[in-house]
Chains A and B, each alone.
Chain A
Amino acid sequence: MQLFLEQVFNGIGAGAVYASVALALVLIYKSTGLLNFAQGEMALFSTYVTWWLAAEKDIDIVPAIVLSCAFAFVAGAAIERILIRPVEGSTHNPLNVVIVTLGMFLAINSLALLIFGTEQEQMPNVFPKDSYDIGGAALQKETLGLLAMLVGECAVLWALLQKTKLGLRLRGVASNAESSRLVGINTGLMLMLGWGFAAVLGALAGSMVASTRTGFDASLMQIILVYAFAAAALGGFDSLIGAVVGGLLVGVAQSLTTEYVTALDGIETVLPLGLILAVLLVRPNGLFGRRTVERV
């Protein structure tokens, strides 16, 4: 039982990270209908920026993360404007953008290697390294920290989207881009902001998860991105709540399989695939996805 609980706790910690990246993926998918394969590498680069500010420039880790998030916001918005928008639009094949994000995946990863090297780096701790004892099972403070990060992200996103004029416009663009322009919304600006917010989610997830590990290198976000895609698919791709629930489910399932299913020893990574398949067979739109129904 203790072991089980501990594995659930670990899964929640990992799941909070998957959920953060899945939130970023869903945010962009909802507004542009496109999967950003470079989301993980954008997060990786911001993670290096956090590390560089904290380890090389001696800035405390929390302000370093804040600065890195600001960097991520600007970089994310710039990527949308400079790299995505020119190849997007009704006159272009929608696959063009996918190819561009795949190219960005490689390019940003290489850029990070070039600038920051191939060595393992150590991110300063964000959270204390000790744990609470819950019925004999250890609950790492890091796990709570990651969960708090996710809850905070959800709260800010919810307030932004549901309670502000800007959020209403962002939702408008996600719902109907042409109508948005016709009511006077600068959709280009909204898309830039959306990419900026998504990049911030990635920067947070990357910096936090790196700090919970003994070291990180340029491969940090690659597996996480796959799990985040699994989480987003599980949740239904167009649902922010789905991304959160999907992320936590994938994290816990991964952690439990690693512990209990020896048959999958070493190939636990096929688990999210199995999970996605199973859910999508039963619910083709994911757990929280909406079926597209249009009335005429």
Chain B
Amino acid sequence: MSEQVEIDPEEPLLELRGVSGGYGQVQVLHGLDLTVHPGKVVVVLGANGAGKTTTLRAISGIVKVRGELRFAGQSLVGKRPEAIARLGIAHVPQGRGTFAELSVEDNLRLGATARRGNGVEDDLARWYDVFPRLKDRRKQEAGSMSGGEQQMLALARAMMSRPRLLLLDEPSLGLAPLVTRELFARLGELNKEEGLTVVVVEQNANLALDIGHWGYVLEAGRIAVQGPAEQLHDDEAVRKAYLGF
């Protein structure tokens, strides 16, 4: 199934060099460079249409791109999404990607598709522990849950694959502020306690930068500004120009 690759903590887990591409004739990314080190939370910010979602879709292989795209030393260029998932990249797409007609538990079991070995039952129990709401609703149709519950489900579904890299696209979209805060708190815990590596695209720059280590600001398909998360957070000029707060 998935090929295990040794990770040198000094080496980046994910590296994008001069990545260009988009949808058909429409080029969205114009020579994007992005580096993610293991155990870090990387926040990708930027205006609508800057290419944030496309960046994630390029990493997980849904959008075909040119340039260099390496994960744990392996090139991802030309690989299909299902193969990339099996390398240990879990992508929660915008809109959460819920299997709406399936039960909550079936959603979680599908999340375990890419992993090898057993322990699926133990992991189910574990994520039910972390998100008790999901346990209460395990037999329920996933699509009938609230947006917040579905986002929790999406996170748990991604974690069922025991990913080495988690890609999250606008997790706060459509969620109440309280729910968003809870979600980011969980994400922060996962990163701190288990060293989960995360790339999160987010409109809510404040919350995301709070748990992030490094931030990128995208503009028109390339990196405009980057730096340590707290620095971006406090930089007046960057905030005014790109983050809108």
Binding site for B on A (CB under 8 A): 91, 168-169, 171-172, 174-176, 178-187, 290, 293-296
Contacts and interface: CB of A to CB of B under 8 A. Distances in A.
Nearest to A91: B24
Contact of A183 (B100, B110, B145): B110
Given A168-B106, A172-B99, A295 B80 contact: no
A270 to B, nearest CB: 34
Interface stretch (B65-73, B85-93, B211-219): B85-93
B169 to A, nearest CB: 11
Contacts of B102: 171-172, 175
Contacts of B93: 178-179, 182
Given A182-B91, A295-B145, A290 B81 contact: no
Contacts of A171: 99, 101-102, 106
The 6 closest A-B pairs by CB, nearest first: A184-B114, A184-B85, A179-B97, A181-B81, A175-B99, A184-B113
Interface of B: 24, 60, 62, 80-82, 85-86, 90-91, 93, 95, 97-102, 106, 109-111, 113-114, 143-147, 150, 157, 161, 174
B110 A178 contact: no
Contacts of A295: 143-147, 150
Contacts of B90: 182-183
A185 B82 contact: yes
Contacts, number: 79
B167 to A, nearest CB: 9
A257 B106 CA distance: 44
Given A171-B102, A176-B99, A294-B143, A181 B80 contact: yes
Contacts of B82: 181, 184-187
A232 B86 CA distance: 37
A296 B100 CA distance: 12
A178 B114 CA distance: 14
Contact of B85 (A91, A168, A176, A181): A181
A296 B147 CA distance: 6
A180 B110 contact: yes
A186 B85 CA distance: 10
A184 B161 CA distance: 9
A116 B3 CA distance: 50
